[in-house]
A = this chain, B = another copy of it.
Amino acid sequence: MSIDAVLSRIDDQLPEATDRLLELLRIPSISTDPAYAEHCQSAADWLVKDLQSLGIKAEKRPTPGHPMVVGHVEGPGPHLLFYGHYDVQPVDPLDLWESDPFDPQLEDTPNGRVIRGRGSSDDKGQLMTFVEACRAWKEVNGTLPCSITFFFEGEEESGSPSLTPFMEENADELRADLALICDTGLFQSKTPAIVTMLRGMLSEEFTITGPRVDLHSGFFGGLAMNPIRVMSKVLADLHDDKGRVTIPGFYDGIPELTDEVRQQWDGLGFDWQSFLGGVGLSKPAGESDRTPLEMIWSRPTAEVNGIWGGYTGDGFKTVLPAQAHAKISFRLVEGQDPLKLREAFRAFVQSRLPEDCSVDFKGHGASPASIMDNTDPAFEAARQALSDEWPEPAAFVGCGGSIPIAGHFGTILGMNAMLVGFGKDDDAIHSPNEKYDLESFHKGTRSWARILHRLTQDA
């Protein structure tokens, strides 16, 4: 069987596929705002209907939050599961949008044609690349090439509260040979990429209390302990002068990159000068003996995300405050146990408190890193498929962010997951004027057709 007819069909049907995406984009399925709950239902309904039009047995499945969409189709060969999410980020500040976020438009830009609108890239546009690939395949061949489970979530942008319970309750139904996830991007906006490692995250909020009440810095200054001084010391101590995190045991159990991965990453030619230069920086700030790619993909971090205490308004107030507060998160890598590190961090803070200060901790999220098994031949097959489609050969890459779903497939369903996506760095996801390149949509659809072909031909 040749893939060419499917690819031609995708090319021919691009206008109709784009229209379908525009229709989905018009549904304002903002998951975090209860006022849009009905629209989340509508987006799920739309997807159910669209999958059914491909002959897929699909239905909307209730959760305590927004519904899941689950669809199944049987076929020969391997059983794949495809995951995407139909909910979108809020749109404020609305006045920074140059067009209505929910009246998506095709727009010509100096970098080519784009689909402008909320969710165009994250994740409706990406999700539909897979659906459109299946549609073209079906139209050309009459059936799909293998068993596929479609699994769409409506709470990804609001913390996925229903996701793991749903996966646990429906484990047998959802289990497949491999999960495909389309929620990532091209490497440096041009190299097709398969993400094989995602960092985990541990986040903590804490308050250091010194005096019982705010004090006058004239009457008490010099005699009373200032909790901002203590907080500064704690946070300053978190990194040594080589950029290493100093929490005891922080790096224990972290494997070194294999020579193979190291060579591959070196070959990517990561232009860290441009990456940093784009945000006004020039020097890597992490561990001084690590490469920039290691710093963001395979090495853990400690970042203060917020700090506050004392008087922060206009003018001046000579207060010696009672409390200082900080929010801190750690990006975690293979070998690190979030709960063990939470304890280690808390002990680190406790050990730096003078007798007169106390600390309260509030734990936020804790998820380990996800490492995909790219020795699975499906990864090499997909890499070849992507390399066939794009001008640059595809790469196995890391991702500094955290996409917990990838880990859930492993821990809850015992499945490997493969992350492939076609977003670009300038897509402005989570920001005003989000867009998705028409090229990403078109070549993304073609990429999935090629991946389906490679995965089922080789099987």
Residues of A at under 8 Å CB distance from B?
199, 201, 203, 205, 210-213, 215-226, 228-229, 231-233, 235-239, 272, 275-276, 279-287, 292, 295-296, 299-301, 303-312, 315-321, 324-325, 327, 329, 331, 354-356, 364-365, 399-402
A365-B316 CB under 8 A given contacts A281-B210, A301-B222, A354-B283: yes
**In the complex, residue of chain B having the shortest beta-carbon distance to the beta carbon of A218:** B401
With A and B bound together, what is the CA distance between A305 and B284 in angstroms?
Answer: 32
Residues of B within 8 Å of A304, CB to CB, are 226, 228-229, 232, 309-310
A220 and B365: CB pair below 8 A?
Answer: no
With A and B bound together, what is the CA distance between A199 and B217 in angstroms?
Answer: 11
A355 and B282: CB pair below 8 A?
Answer: yes
Residues of B within 8 Å of A229, CB to CB, are 235-236, 238-239, 303-304
Residues of B within 8 Å of A226, CB to CB, are 285, 303-304
9 new A-B contacts, CB < 8 A, other than A216-B401, A217-B329, A221-B331, are A218-B402, A221-B400, A223-B284, A229-B238, A229-B303, A232-B235, A235-B236, A280-B356, A285-B356
B212 and A285: CB pair below 8 A?
Answer: no
Residues of B within 8 Å of A199, CB to CB, are 218
**In the complex, residue of chain B having the shortest beta-carbon distance to the beta carbon of A333:** B222
B279 and A220: CB pair below 8 A?
Answer: yes
A205-B329 CB under 8 A given contacts A220-B279, A232-B232, A309-B306: no
B281 and A356: CB pair below 8 A?
Answer: yes
Residues of B within 8 Å of A321, CB to CB, are 305-306
| Among B213, B219, B279, B315, contact of A296 (Cβ-Cβ < 8 Å) | B219
* Shortest CB distance A423–B (Å): 12
Residues of B within 8 Å of A219, CB to CB, are 296, 400-401
A316-B279 CB under 8 A given contacts A226-B285, A301-B222, A307-B324: no
Residues of B within 8 Å of A236, CB to CB, are 229, 232-233, 235-237
A282 and B356: CB pair below 8 A?
Answer: yes
Pull 26 A–B residue pairs with CB atoms less than 8 Å apart, ordered by A: A201-B218, A203-B316, A203-B318, A215-B279, A217-B301, A220-B279, A222-B285, A222-B287, A223-B276, A223-B295, A224-B276, A225-B281, A228-B307, A229-B236, A231-B232, A232-B307, A233-B236, A282-B355, A305-B316, A305-B318, A305-B319, A306-B321, A307-B307, A307-B308, A308-B309, A316-B365
**In the complex, residue of chain B having the shortest beta-carbon distance to the beta carbon of A364:** B316
